[in-house]
Amino acid sequence: MASVEVRNLSRTFGAHKALDDVSVRFEDGGFYALLGPSGSGKTTLLRMIAGFDYPDRGQIEMDGESVERVPLEKRQIGMVFQNYALFPNMSVAQNVAFGLDVRGVKRDEMARKVDAALDLVQLGKLGSRRPHQLSGGQRQRVALARAFVFNPRVLLLDEPLGALDKALRVDMQVELKRIQREIGITTIFVTHDQEEALTMSDRIGILKDGRLIEEGRPEEIYNRPRTLFAATFLGDANILSGIWNGEAMVLADGTLIRIGDVDGLSTGGKVQCAIRPERIRILADGVAASDNKVRGKITRRMFAGVSSTVFVDCLGMTMRVVVPNAGMELLRDGEEISLTWSKESTIPVRDSR
C-alpha cells in the first residue's frame, strides 16, 4: 500500500485548465472521495495519478517517490470505472485472469491469484459463469476483482457504482468499504453522490473549475464549510448576507444575526453565512429559542420520507428548514411561525473563485 501526494498539479487542454495548481495528500490506507460538478477535473486528476496522462506542471509522489514520469504499468495502481466492460465471451475467472495472462504470469500462480481475488469479492463460486449470467452488482464485483488481482498499491475508482440502482448501490458501498478495510488499500473514489462520499470516506476533496476548493474529514467539511461553494455543493444551506458590526451580522432589513466563529471578520465588512436546514428549528411548545429567532410564513412543505423540508418566507428570502416527519401534520401552508437556530450553526463562508 502507498500514500499518494500531488503537488501543484496543472493540466491544460488547449486554453482550458482542467487542473489548476492542485495539491493534496492521500494517506496510506485512507479512503478519499473526490466530489465536484461535471467538468471540474476529477477524472483528469485520477488519470494523472494512474499514469494515463501526464501533468504540464507539478509532482506526483507515491510513498515519497516521484512517479509523474513513470509509465502506467509500473505504478501498480488498480482502477475501476463506471463502464467496466467485461469480455462477454470469457468466464468470470478468465476476465479476472486476463491482465495476468497478458503479462505472462504462470498458470498455477495465476489460478491462485484469481481465486483469491474472487474470494475477496465473494464470487468464489461463480468463476465459471459468463458476465451475462450475473447481476449488475456481481458484474461490478468482477470489475473490482480484476483490479485487485494485481495486488495494487492504490485503488482508483471513477463512479464505480454509478450504473447500479439505489438498493444495489448501498449493498456495494458496504461491500467496497469491507474490502477496503480488509486489505487496507489507499483508495481514491470519484462520485457524484454526496451521501456516498459522506458515509464512505475518511476525507473528501471538493473540486471546482480544476481547483481543489476544500478538503477535510466529512464531518468537518459538512459542519464547518469554509467556502460558499462547499456549503452549497455538499448538502443544502441557507445563505444570509449582511454587514458585520463587530457583534452581529446586520441584514438589509436591520435584523441582527448572531454568528459563532467570528475570527477574521472585520467591522463594517461584508459577511455571508451558511445555515444548514436541519439546524433550524420551528419554535413550538417545548422548543427553547436559541441565539437567532425570526418570524416567517410557511409557503410550501415537501415530504421526503424520513424528514420533510418546510419552505418559509422570511428575511426577504425563502429559508429551507428540515424537520423530522413526526409533528409535520401540525404545520399548515400560510401559517406564521418563528424559526430559531444557534450562533454556532451560523457559519461564515467566503466566496470561492
Q: Total residues at the site for ligand ATP (CB under 6 A)? A: 11
What does the DSSP assignment read for 278-342?
GG-EE--TTPPP-SEEEEEEEEEEEEETTEEEEEEEETTEEEEEEEESTTGGG--TT-EEEEEE-
- In whole angstroms, what is the distance from residue 176 CA to residue 161 CA? 10
Minimum distance, C-beta of residue 46 to ligand ATP, in the bound complex (Å): 8
- Least separation, in Å, of the C-beta of 52 and ligand ATP? 10
User: What minimum distance in Å lies between the beta carbon of 351 and ligand ATP?
Assistant: 21
Q: Are 109 and 84 in contact (CB under 8 A)?
A: no
| Other beta carbons less than 10 A from residue 336's beta carbon | 11
44 binds ligand ATP (CB under 6 A): yes
Question: For ligand ATP, which residue of 20, 31, 33, 40 counts as binding (CB under 6 A)?
Answer: 40
Do 213 and 22 contact (CB within 8 A), yes or no? no
Q: Nine-digit cell at 241?
A: 448576507
Residue 60 phi/psi, 5° resolution? -125, 125
Q: Does 13 bind ligand ATP (CB under 6 A)?
A: yes
Per 3-state DSSP, what percentage of the chain is helix, strand, and coil (rounded to 5)?
30, 35, 40
Q: Considering beta carbons, is residue 211 or 226 the nearer one to ligand ATP? A: 211
Among residues 32 and 148, whose Cβ is nearest to ligand ATP?
A: 32
Comparing CB distances to ligand ATP, the nearer of 43 and 346 is 43
Residue 17 CB, shortest distance to ligand ATP, in Å, is: 8
CB of 196 to ligand ATP, least distance (A): 14
Note whether 18 binds ligand ATP by CB under 6 A: yes
Distance CA 295, CA 297 (A): 7
**In the bound complex, what is the minimum distance in angstroms from residue 176's beta carbon to ligand ATP?**
19
The DSSP secondary-structure symbol of 21 reads: E
Of the candidate residues 30, 35, 36, 153, the single one contacting ligand ATP (CB under 6 A): 36
Specify the pairing of strand 211-216 against strand 203-208: antiparallel
Query: Does residue 38 bind ligand ATP (CB under 6 A)?
Result: yes
Q: Which stretch binds ligand ATP (CB under 6 A): 10-18, 250-258, 310-318, 332-340?
A: 10-18
Residue 111 burial class via C-beta count within 10 angstroms: exposed 0-12, middle 13-18, buried 19 and up: middle
Q: Which of 30, 41, 152, 277 is close enough to bind ligand ATP by CB under 6 A?
A: 41
Candidates 11-19, 97-105, 251-259, 302-310; binding stretch for ligand ATP (CB under 6 A) = 11-19
**Cβ 231 to ligand ATP shortest distance, Å:** 20
Which listed residue (21, 29, 39, 322) binds ligand ATP by CB under 6 A?
Answer: 39
Q: By the criterion CB under 6 A, which residues form the site for ligand ATP?
A: 13, 16, 18, 36, 38-44
